[in-house]
A and B are shown apart, each in its own frame.
Chain A
């Protein structure tokens, strides 16, 4: 490995990986294959073990059990500096006593690669910071530091690049720009990227494969469209976008579909889109798949119908309007409607029905938890609240 750039990405394989801290299991049991050259996103709430997973792969943390293979080679026992892996740290971890350029050149120099300085300048130019190469990290803004951390890792062209929320401190515009930049670097060199993020939109737009993590295990893994279309668990259904979930016993089965009885209302879901076909089942539908009706529509066997209910909240968000309905028996239902006309379709307090195509529903493996819905937002306020909650619960446990 030493002395040369990686020609191409390497695949990463985690086999039965476990990580237990004293008194706390951070990774339950992880089995994962990331093909060479792919852009893999690890998405999950704060404290679910994303950083721990990356640290295990980088060799900064020792696995309790299980194996880690990079490019087919077992690296479980090797030291971090022997692994063809570089990390963009969540806390940047820039060396405060070195200039920006020396920070970026650090990895190249350790491996004795020629023209470390020139290559470092190129990497800095890529993140548009070459003009600040003589500064110390303390003289940069948070976003600039983050870009230096990115350049410091990318300049090494590792077979596997680990990114721990590398764009978290950037404003939206710079974030989009860096996303494109990252994606093009990845395409160009064919490196394997393992990208950790809170931001579901970032994960969905950039990654070939997204894995949703919760409490130390991967809940579901797949192409972004697949995950969104067919979430398998209530957690995924609500973490990736929003969902309306209804729980009830299966009351009828045909060759191709099941019907669930939700407090007297029949909701039909295709068998192919349901994980379970018997017992009590939670079914769901995305808010944008719902159609609002101001009077009772005709019964149509290809559509599910809920109602009548009452509009309890209308919030306008530019492209679309979000309606929250209270439907007796079904609870609250969220509807996103495109703003095609002028003004809202219905006003607060109006009586409405909602319907959706049977083909748009999905049936979950588990039952929806009674806990309040987890809203995966990307803004810092939400993240701060999440962090605070995690901290509070940690304090309570202690």
Chain B
């Protein structure tokens, strides 16, 4: 999952470097070898995917037939790849926007207001995260069937919004509870109307949590296979496309898209790290 990779990467970059070096003993080769093996094991599938995006394949993309940039230049030439990818982007975008908006509002309400069934709602929101995806997916599918809703883009979006909301609420709630209510009170005391206080104080302070929640939502939606598969009808997303075509051989164009997504994720993480470093340095200079 892209986000987990991103988080791990970010952690690796920001983790404090250990100053203390252990003594090098006789068994010093064990840890490095083990680490190298683990890394290789983790990276091989990714490297494989990237390498085979340059394969001059004809139908199936299993054996190496020479280097070409064709697949990168004409990604959309393979049947349905781009359409599936476009669907994934569209669903991910819509699910992210809706789930983040609703989830943020729910999170604020759950922390700030006392109302009936508050504890019950908190618990219910947690359920989708704990329930096996197969159960969620099949349950939703039979519900849509019962309600007479044609499976398609809309049903996928609804399904994704449903499980994304839970993650948004959990992420944003942590942020809201750590927000000092005195700050909003100070805003109101300083002539800020409720709208202005939200816009200039609450929202900016919650923003890091909201952004994290949005990224998480998009990654989850983009990545989801099981729930989507149950509710997609004839519509294909990128994961269902890859799954279906695996039977006949995945076209190299799919490798191109997978590699591109991987690179984009890495670029995002690195840019964030750089921006944070620049901000830190600028602050240090004004001090």
How near does chain A come to B185, taking the closest CB pair, in angstroms? 5
CB contacts under 8 Å to A, within B156-203, are: 180, 182-183, 185-193, 196, 200-201
How near does chain A come to B218, taking the closest CB pair, in angstroms? 25
List of B residues within 8 angstroms of A134 by Cβ: 286
List of B residues within 8 angstroms of A94 by Cβ: 186
List of A residues within 8 angstroms of B249 by Cβ: none
Cβ–Cβ contact B204 & A97, under 8 A: yes
- The contact of A87 among B180, B186, B205, B287, by CB within 8 Å, is B186
Q: Is B15 positioned at the interface, with any CB of A under 8 Å from its CB? A: no
Instruction: Flag A107-149 by CB within 8 Å of B: 1 or 0 each.
Output: 1001100000000000000000000001110010000000000
- The contact of A58 among B189, B196, B204, by CB within 8 Å, is B189
Q: Is B283 positioned at the interface, with any CB of A under 8 Å from its CB? A: yes
Cβ–Cβ contact A106 & B190, under 8 A: yes
Given that A96-B205, A97-B204, A97-B205 are known contacts, is A80 also in contact with B283, CB under 8 Å in the complex? Answer: no
Instruction: Flag A77-106 by CB within 8 Å of B: 1 or 0 each.
Output: 001110001110101011111000000001
List of B residues within 8 angstroms of A106 by Cβ: 187, 190, 192, 200
Interface of A is mostly: loop
Cβ–Cβ contact A152 & B190, under 8 A: yes
Q: How far is the CA of A97 from the CA of B287 in the complex (A)?
A: 15
Cβ–Cβ contact B191 & A110, under 8 A: yes
CB contacts under 8 Å to B, within A30-76, are: 58-60
List of B residues within 8 angstroms of A96 by Cβ: 183, 205
Q: How far is the CA of A139 from the CA of B287 in the complex (A)?
A: 7
List of A residues within 8 angstroms of B204 by Cβ: 97
List of A residues within 8 angstroms of B191 by Cβ: 2, 81, 107, 110-111, 156
Cβ–Cβ contact B182 & A95, under 8 A: no
User: Which positions in B face A, CB cutoff 8 Å?
Assistant: 180, 182-183, 185-193, 196, 200-201, 204-205, 283, 286-287
Would you list 26 pairs from A and B whose C-beta atoms are within 8 A, ordered by A residue?
A58-B189, A59-B188, A59-B189, A60-B189, A80-B185, A81-B190, A86-B189, A87-B186, A91-B180, A93-B180, A93-B182, A93-B186, A94-B186, A95-B187, A97-B205, A106-B187, A106-B192, A107-B191, A110-B190, A110-B191, A111-B191, A134-B286, A135-B287, A139-B283, A152-B190, A156-B190
Given A85-B189, A95-B183, 5 more contacts at CB 8 Å? A79-B188, A81-B188, A81-B192, A107-B191, A110-B192
